[in-house]
């Protein structure tokens, strides 16, 4: 099988179940942390012990969660579970290479690195699947106001239960009514 065909085959077979494997979980975190670092010209640092603990918490939660029905609510619950599992442990931190003093958003990212990564990881998982379901392209990328991101991160830092409100906190579109 050629490299292109192999890549396409892997993409076709990718599913939520890949996140039950530590490699899949780590890859999602790596990609999210790198994308945020790239966006703000930061250096990302990962604590491997904390990352393993977050993975264990994610697995514990998945195997224990009482999901009444296998419907969209179960999907939202697992996205929230991913956010809560990552936010519970200090997995990621960032150091600034160049910092725009006028950017409030970079201040939020540096103040709440783990919460920001957790929210972005859950939102990415959510958007990935919603995008596949609806065929909608993600919007223009204007970004949320910094105060909205700060509010979401601060809420999550104070109460891990705030993860269950990630769609409202991040103003994510839902195709379900």
Partner 1 sequence: MPAADEDDNKSDGGIDRLRVDGRKVDVARLRLAAIDRAVFAAGAGHAAVDHDEMIRRTVNMLFGHG
CB 142 → partner 1: shortest distance, Å?
6
Find where tokens 């959510």 sit: 126
How many angstroms separate the CA atoms of 132 and 16, rounded? Answer: 13
CB 85 → partner 1: shortest distance, Å?
11
The pair phi, psi for residue 68, each rounded to 5°, is -65, -35
CB 160 → partner 1: shortest distance, Å?
19
- Residue 124 binds partner 1 (CB under 8 A): yes
- Residue 13 binds partner 1 (CB under 8 A): yes
- Residue 111 binds partner 1 (CB under 8 A): no
DSSP 16: G
Kindly provide the b/e burial profile for residues 6-42, where b requires at least 16 CB atoms within 10 angstroms of the residue's own CB: eeeeeeeeeeeeebeeeebbbebbeebbeebbeebeb
Q: How many residues in the shown chain lie near partner 1 by CB under 8 A?
A: 73
Query: Residue 23: enclosing H or E segment and its boundaries?
Result: helix 22-40
Binding-site member from 30, 110, 151, 165 for partner 1 (CB under 8 A): 30
For partner 1, the closer of residues 138 and 147 by Cβ is: 138
For the segment 36-65, give every residue that binds partner 1 (CB under 8 A).
Answer: 36-50, 52-53, 55-56, 58-60, 62-63, 65
CB 149 → partner 1: shortest distance, Å?
7
Query: Residue 167: enclosing H or E segment and its boundaries?
Result: helix 166-169
- Residue 71 binds partner 1 (CB under 8 A): yes
For the segment 143-162, give every residue that binds partner 1 (CB under 8 A).
Answer: 143-144, 149
């Amino acid at each position: 099988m050629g490299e292109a065909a192999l890549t396409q085959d892997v993409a076709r077979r990718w599913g939520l179940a890949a996140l039950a494997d530590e490699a899949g979980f780590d890859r999602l975190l790596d990609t999210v942390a790198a994308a945020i670092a790239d966006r703000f010209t930061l250096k990302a640092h990962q604590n491997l012990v904390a990352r393993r603990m977050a993975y264990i918490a994610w697995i514990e939660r998945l195997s224990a969660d009482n999901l009444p029905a296998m419907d969209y609510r179960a999907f939202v619950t697992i996205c929230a579970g991913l956010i809560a599992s990552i936010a519970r442990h200090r997995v990621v931190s960032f150091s600034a290479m160049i910092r725009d003093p006028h950017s409030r958003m970079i201040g939020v990212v540096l103040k709440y690195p783990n919460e920001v990564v957790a929210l972005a990881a859950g939102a990415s998982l959510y958007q990935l699947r919603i995008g596949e379901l609806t065929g909608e392209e993600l919007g223009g990328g204007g970004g949320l106001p910094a105060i909205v991101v700060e509010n979401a991160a601060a809420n999550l830092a104070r109460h891990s239960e705030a993860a269950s409100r990630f769609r409202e906190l991040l103003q994510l579109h839902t195709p379900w009514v």
